[in-house]
Amino acid sequence: MGQFGNQPDFATNGIKEITTTNGFISYTPSSASFLGGSIIYIGDNLTVGNNLKVIPAGTVGPSVISGFSSFGFSGSGGTGYAAANNVVTTTTGAGTALTVNTTVAGGAVTSIVIGNNAGTGYLNGDLITVTGGGANAVFRVVAAPGLPTAAQAVTFKGLGTGGFLPVTVDYVLATGTTVAELIAAR
């Protein structure tokens, strides 16, 4: 419990005013705007408005493919392939539109890298099949959670002046936020 009722405890060295360079994001968050689970104090919402659009702490964005792993057993590289670029793939998951560039030896795909389209919706562990050849070269997607997007934001309305937002946040969005004089504390 803080010094006063309904106010959180926080270290004074973590307090900073939220500005466009250290707190607000647009559609693509960057590490420069990461607030790291901060508590937000609303200094004034009477002159500007009363909406605060935030991404709550811990929210992760869509997966980002970082590579592929082969199953490594005989036949997992498929048969009848020739090296090619921007080859379409199929998946066991919800991902779509991934293309890959293939490296082939003896008709088997030995490695793949992302082609001209990284696709969307792929999760770590999804299985993809490289089309062409015998349509039997299978690889596992290696992916990690990406940064959150503006579509994952939550809007708080009707906030009182001089109060704290009831959740900790990682980002405050410029688009859709109409309160002023915000302070972040951790």
Please say whether the beta carbons of 153 and 56 come within 8 A. Answer: no
Token readout for 3 is: 């010094």
Please determine, for residue 185, whether its predicted confidence score (pLDDT) is greater than 90: no
pLDDT tens digit sequence for 87-146:
999 998 889 999 999 999 999 999 999 999 999 999 999 999 999 999 999 999 999 988
Q: How do residues 49-98 score in pLDDT, each as one tens digit?
A: 788 899 999 898 889 999 999 988 888 999 999 999 999 999 988 899 99
Q: What kind and span of H or E run contains 142?
A: strand 137-146
Contacts of 6 (CB under 8 A, 6+ apart): 164
> Around Cβ 124, how many Cβ atoms within 10 Å?
14
User: In the structure, what pLDDT confidence band is assigned to residue 1 with cuts at 50, 70 and 90?
Assistant: very low
- The reported pTM is 0.67
Measured distance CA(22)–CA(17) in Å, rounded: 8
The predicted-structure confidence for 165-175, as pLDDT tens digits, reads as follows 889 998 888 88
Tell the burial category of 180 from Cβ atoms under 10 Å away from its Cβ (0-12, 13-18, 19+): middle
Percent of the chain's residues with pLDDT above 90: 41
What is the DSSP code (8-state) at residue 60? -
